[in-house]
Homo-oligomer: A and B are copies of this chain.
């Protein structure tokens, strides 16, 4: 009896801009799949050409036709045909459509397999020079300043590093919303990553907020950890002092402070507090 491999939905990461970042396995998967589903077939067609890969069939799948594609993908997989899903650049789904297709394939019992490769989020965090984790990724923040502020405030409260994408004409306004919600944190604007004009612009949010940054194009923004982040011991001491002043046993004060402080343990704070009390 012949054992047949089950048809698989491959989620294939593609380069952020440099064709030499396409892995041999990604190239082989895109060449072998019965269908390659791309956000923009023209863009993916150019990438495949640059990498010397010929797809057997290249079709579009984007947020406006995803619902219909779900049925087709399930039909292809049911017929034993492998399908590869790509986005315009990087790892699909992270801020792109495709989630409904992946979910439907899994629920129908088909294997879904990641062909790991470039991700703008990971690349930016690895090279920005800001504390890389814990971090939260926010996709493209909402266009309304009020809603963007709310989003930044909610994730900012964790004290974590934040990563988001923004388009050139929105960048100054979105950074102004970040400044209003997060205070004047460190940030790095990452543009043209992996390409000839790759650039990392470090600064404080206040240096970029509200300015005309249209020349920068689309960027990946990394915002460093907040005052409650694990890296700022002075902020930890201040919060701890507040909680100690509020009364109760030192361990209780340390516990309450730990609830407010990202990355600081009750034990560390208790030690800090009792050390100080021995001064």
A74 to B193, CA, bound (A): 23
Q: Is the CB of A117 within 8 A of B21?
A: yes
- A94 interfacial by beta-carbon distance below 8 Å: yes
Q: Is the CB of B25 within 8 A of A91?
A: no
- A138 interfacial by beta-carbon distance below 8 Å: yes
- A139 interfacial by beta-carbon distance below 8 Å: yes
The 8 A CB mask of A87-116 against B (1 = contact, 0 = none) is 000111111001100110111000011111
- Whole-angstrom distance from the CB of A19 to the nearest CB of chain B? 9
Chain B residues closer than 8 Å to A132, beta-carbon distance: 93-94, 99
Chain B residues closer than 8 Å to A107, beta-carbon distance: 129
- A200 interfacial by beta-carbon distance below 8 Å: yes
- A172 interfacial by beta-carbon distance below 8 Å: no
Chain B residues closer than 8 Å to A130, beta-carbon distance: 103
Chain B residues closer than 8 Å to A116, beta-carbon distance: 15-16, 18, 21, 90, 117-120, 122-123, 193-194
Q: Is the CB of B93 within 8 A of A126?
A: yes
Chain B residues closer than 8 Å to A91, beta-carbon distance: 119, 122-123, 125-126
A28: which of B20, B23, B118, B262 is its contact (CB, 8 Å)? B20
Question: Nearest B residue to A139 by beta-carbon distance?
Answer: B133
Q: How many copies does the complex hold?
A: 2
- A150 interfacial by beta-carbon distance below 8 Å: yes
Q: Is the CB of B262 within 8 A of A154?
A: yes
Chain B residues closer than 8 Å to A112, beta-carbon distance: 127, 129, 200
A193 to B265, CA, bound (A): 31
Chain B residues closer than 8 Å to A142, beta-carbon distance: 265
Chain B residues closer than 8 Å to A124, beta-carbon distance: 114
Q: Is the CB of A138 within 8 A of B147?
A: no
- Whole-angstrom distance from the CB of A94 to the nearest CB of chain B? 6
A22-B23, A137-B133 are contacts. A127–B99 as well, Cβ < 8 Å?
Answer: no
Q: Is the CB of B193 within 8 A of A114?
A: yes
- Whole-angstrom distance from the CB of A220 to the nearest CB of chain B? 10
Chain B residues closer than 8 Å to A114, beta-carbon distance: 123-124, 126-127, 193-194
Q: List 8 A-B contacts (CB under 8 A).
A: A20-B24, A22-B23, A103-B129, A116-B123, A119-B119, A119-B121, A144-B265, A155-B158
* Interface pairs A-B: 5 shortest CB-CB: A116-B118, A119-B122, A20-B25, A114-B123, A106-B129
